[in-house]
Amino acid sequence: MSAPLSPVPVRPPVTGPDAAQLLDFVRRTAADTALVASLPLDPEGRTWIRLDGPGGSEAWLIGWPPGTGTGWHDHADSRGAFLTAAGTLREHSLAARLPTDGWKTLELSEGIDRTRELTAGQGRAFGRHHVHEVLNESATEHAVSVHAYYPPLPRIRRYSRTGAVLRLEQTEIPEDWQ
């Protein structure tokens, strides 16, 4: 006689828009020239407008002054998409799935770094726990982008990076952004 089996926790199905639907939304939104032009641009810091994303997603129109960026971060359990509406953005990302919890410092393997230059009309979708940084490297031109995340951002983890060493520095929750 064998022992009774314990129930295996079942992860609830993820509902809401998938990454392709989020990318379609940011593409259509970035094509709205009146909306993009309505974003106030500040020479000193990023500006943003919260948008109504599809299917309960969180969405933003973001202005990037010359020389600004996000620093290394991820969007935890949210999948997302972003697209450059004006100017050029550069994304540095890691082509590896990192452990989601239980670490403070990781040494990254060679060959996992990816860089994309995203000019107006170019964007990308990404899955959960995607670690990246986004930069406007122009010395003179603002960039504008559209971003969407589902589920709405439960947290953002911020990292520092020195060479191959990635260090978790801070975890932010939505109340930190108000």
DSSP for 124-177, please give it.
Answer: EEE-TT--EEEE---SS--EEEEEEEES--S-EEEEEEETTEEEEEEEE-GGGG
Two structure tokens written together for 122: 């170019």
Two structure tokens written together for 90: 């550069």
The Cα diameter of the chain in Å comes to: 75
Output the pLDDT for position 101. 80
What is the CATH superfamily name and number for domain 19-177? Jelly Rolls (2.60.120.10)
Domain-wise residue ranges, the chain: 19-177
49 and 36 Cβ atoms separated by less than 8 Å: no
Output the pLDDT for position 14. 58
Output the pLDDT for position 55. 96
Residue type, 141: E
Output the pLDDT for position 168. 94
Q: Which of 11, 154, 162, 144 is nearest to 74 (CA)?
A: 154
Output the pLDDT for position 13. 54
Map residue 80 onto helix, strand or coil.
strand
Place of tokens 């726990």: 129
pLDDT, block means (10 residues), the chain with 178 residues: 50 77 98 97 95 96 98 94 98 88 90 97 94 97 98 93 95 81
Question: Radius of gyration over alpha carbons of the chain, in Å?
Answer: 18
Output the pLDDT for position 175. 82
For residues 77 and 92, give the distance between their C-alpha atoms in angstroms, rounded to a whole number: 19
